[in-house]
Amino acid sequence: MRGKRDKAMVDRVLGDKARAVLVSDFYAAYNHYLGLKQRCWAHLLRDIGELVETHPKDEVLKQWAEAVQKVYQEAKAFQSDDEQERIRSQLEYEQSLLEVCRPFMDNPLAVQAGLCRRIERHSKELFVFVANPLVPADNNQAERSLRHLVTSRKISGGTRSPAGSHSKMVLASFFGTCRARGLDPFFECRQLLSPPQL
């Protein structure tokens, strides 16, 4: 039930006509989005790092983690003005990463098997940033833009009512949009609250 509710929320926020590149973590509610997706490398690398910390004596795991990191660093460093070369390189990086993961996907003794299967499942969504340089490789900017709201909620204990939470989120979204577009929030509020000019 929760999965359907989360998918509906994603659809409501993105709209049914949204076809931009969605940069997100690996949360399953984003899977049915029909547009292009770039999965967040910061989340993937964090999960790999936590796995290495949990199994500090596993040398094969460390070598695998370093190999994944190497493919990512090469992809991040890649630059080209030629669109066809960028698309070709995206496919090459996808294949390189799958080659790093294939030996472990079905190995019940490999602790990285689950992450390897995740990489395989989302392989077409990991290097969109190579083909399209305007797409970031992670969603850090989006998460940073929300961090102050999370901090505020922790400090204040929340708004204590659904209506208050809704109002706070609508206003935060409005002011965030003003900031992102370089608009004066005070002026925009006055425009919204002023009677229409006939």
CB 46 within 8 A of CB 52: no
- Do 169 and 125 reside in the same domain of the chain? no
Domain region containing 182:
140-193
Give the number of domains in the chain: 2
The pTM (predicted TM-score) of the whole model is: 0.70
- Do 99 and 51 reside in the same domain of the chain? yes
- How far apart CA 36 and CA 22 sit, in angstroms, is 6
Task: Write the pLDDT tens digit of every residue in 158-184.
Answer: 667 888 777 777 777 777 777 777 888
In a domain, 198, yes or no: no
Taking the mean position of all CA atoms in its chain, how far away is CA 79? 22
Element spanning 24, H or E: strand 22-24
In a domain, 107, yes or no: yes
- Do 104 and 176 reside in the same domain of the chain? no
User: What contacts 145, CB < 8 A, 6 or more positions away?
Assistant: 176
Task: Write the pLDDT tens digit of every residue in 124-169.
Answer: 999 999 999 999 999 865 445 445 555 666 667 666 788 877 777 7
